[in-house]
Amino acid sequence: MTRMPGARPAIEIAGLRKRFGRSLVLDGIDASIARGRVTALVGPNAAGKSTLLKCLLGLVRPDAGTLTVDGVEVSGDPAYRRVIGYMPQRAPFPENLTGHEVLGLLRQVRGDVPVDFELIERFGIAGELAKRVATLSGGTRQKLNAVAAYLFRPSIVILDEPSAGLDPVANRALKRKILQTRDAGVTHLITSHVLSEVEELADEVLLLLDGRVHYNGSVNNLRDITGERHLEPAIGRLMEARR
């Protein structure tokens, strides 16, 4: 473990449970997300990754347990989300607004806070922002989605399958942004089902299986305990060991 001693985790999760109808999606999650590091949230389909993220964003109300973001417990008060930037799997913008209007709407909602337009330059989409979202390609929407996540200089960034729909060049630009902001102290929580994708980014791994935490720690430690150099076989070994 290479965590800074004394630094409180950016996110702490304790005893989190959520049931949808008959299926228990989160079955008592205890985990902590290290501050200023990139944590890969991994696990097979239906492991509970999306539900965990949605609980974190207040979109889903857990049945039991607590979530603490930056020392503030997640409750009905939305103020804790000021420090969070979120990039959902699919770009969620109203089709009839232009890119400028979407970003303007977000800025109005956030109020007067400093903004970061750097990704617009890096993606080279400044010229696309005057067009309506409906006429943008899927890739461009996804770029706008990433711009929105970093727009308000968040201290915690949540990216849900960020590489899906991005071309390789944009993907590289986003990865550079992730590493650069991480080095400036921003906490990242990234889901991906392509493990090789997150390999070069992740410092930490949070592995979910059937709604339970099966690993929550650093990538280096994971390599040590499994004897595998790469993330994919290492996690494969962890999953086998549990069977």
Partner 1 sequence: MTLTARLFVGGLRDVGRRRWLLAYLLFYAVLTDTLFRFGGDGPRAVVSLTNVVLGLVPLVGLLFGTMYVYQSREFIEMMLAQPVDRRSLFVGLYGGVAVPLAGSFMLGVGLPFFWNDGFADGGRAIALVVVSGAALSVVFTGLGFLIALRFEDRASGLGVAIVSWLAATVLYDGLVLLSVTLLQEYPIEHPLIGAMLINPVDLARVLLLLQLDMGALAGYTGAVFERFFGTAQGSVWSGAALAAWAIVPFLAGMRRFAARDF
Interface residues with partner 1 (CB under 8 A)?
20, 54, 57-61, 76-82, 84, 86, 88, 90, 92-97, 101, 105-106, 108-110, 132, 148
Are 203 and 38 in contact by the 8 Å Cβ rule? The answer is yes
How far apart CA 146 and CA 162 sit, in angstroms, is: 8
Between residues 33 and 57, which has the closer beta carbon with respect to partner 1? Answer: 57
Phi, psi (degrees; rounded to nearest 5) at 202? -75, 135
In one-letter notation, the amino acid at residue 234 is A
Q: How far is the CB of 196 from partner 1 (least distance, A)?
A: 28
Q: How far is the CB of 148 from partner 1 (least distance, A)?
A: 8
Between residues 75 and 180, which has the closer beta carbon with respect to partner 1? Answer: 75
How far apart CA 53 and CA 165 sit, in angstroms, is: 20
Between residues 9 and 88, which has the closer beta carbon with respect to partner 1? Answer: 88
Between residues 135 and 180, which has the closer beta carbon with respect to partner 1? Answer: 135
Between residues 115 and 179, which has the closer beta carbon with respect to partner 1? Answer: 115
Question: How many CA atoms, within 13 angstroms, populate the side-chain half-sphere of residue 112?
Answer: 0
Q: How far is the CB of 163 from partner 1 (least distance, A)?
A: 19
Q: How far is the CB of 150 from partner 1 (least distance, A)?
A: 14
Write out the E strands in the chain. Answer: 11-20, 23-33, 38-42, 64-69, 72-73, 84-87, 156-160, 187-191, 204-209, 212-218
Q: How far is the CB of 86 from partner 1 (least distance, A)?
A: 4
How far apart CA 192 and CA 47 sit, in angstroms, is: 12
